[in-house]
Structure 1
């Protein structure tokens, strides 16, 4: 169980500390400028995994791991009135990822396994890699170097917050449909243990979604000369825990950005 305290503010205690931060921007050139040989990308290896419950408590186990099971319903808007969405106004930074790495180092026979040149979320790497072709989506990142490791997290931009807060109800329901689809396609136990008439099959027909609940994996790879550790949410496992899938991308795409 995590003992790291949740950060409730991103304000700096004084302006002097803020002034020491270096702000840099990088120009985005035409896509043709990025043509060339792709750097060597090593096969990622899972370091650890962890669960986050409905209270956003971190647990270093598989309690929130879900398993894929073909849907027996198709209404993606059932339960919209009960939808529980994580409060993203509370900054969590990369705390849960750091918790997982700390726990992994304590248990590993080789502590170097949980160390890398860069530690971040898979989604941030996706955002960076897609920037040349998605120029209408501004982003801002924070990078901190500590003991030769660069830790990267995203700084939420006011423009993005306003856009998300002002979504029409129709678009809110469309977003909910993606989470609801996950509910309809997953169970809390492997398919081999599901019997005909299992109560969970009936229950999920009316279940809503709670985005506080997550199951995450942490993998280590190498991109060019840089070692990289990424954390990422995984929606479900297809029987074998190593064969993860999500409703938007397969695990193999998670590893390839």
Structure 2
């Protein structure tokens, strides 16, 4: 079963320096009927204005993945990590026992766009993890790039939770197929362009819940960029 979620259905937040589409209940968007999809707790489609960002703030008992769409994200945290990431690069943090961090767009003129994704951990007070990986354009071109997995799988970024992230930049008229194992589900997001997902048309910023499906057939209707998260049913 596919449940199509058009971008118009997402909650829009506009703080001036920060514009967001919230896929799930978050901040000023309180919706007890839309809190999570399995272990996926937060998916925010953010635009951060130049010379602005999130000042130092705490997190704990959450696994956080940030996927950079365009611009430059500069990260600092209480573990001593400082780095700047660009398009297609991925940052991850497992904030088990607690960590402080800041996220800024220090560019003088260019907006920063990204997906901020929070995954519920399998238990509380897990060891802190931080890292990033600088995936290239070629690695995700016309293929499914496995960017995040659990600790026992083969992605270069590993979280404590049993979850998998895939991204692709798929050329117009190209097709990709993904097989879904029994008792697994997928949350799918179109970042740029448009595509057909099992014959359902999705445009940029649209999403789709995929439950009790055996296979996903992805057909690019234009050059398109997408991300999806595979996890256990529930």
Shared fold by TM > 0.5? no
User: Quick check: which one's helix share is greater?
Assistant: 1
Q: Which has the higher contact order (CA 8 A, sep 6+)?
A: 1
User: Quick check: which one's strand share is greater?
Assistant: 2
TM-score norm. by structure 2 comes to: 0.22
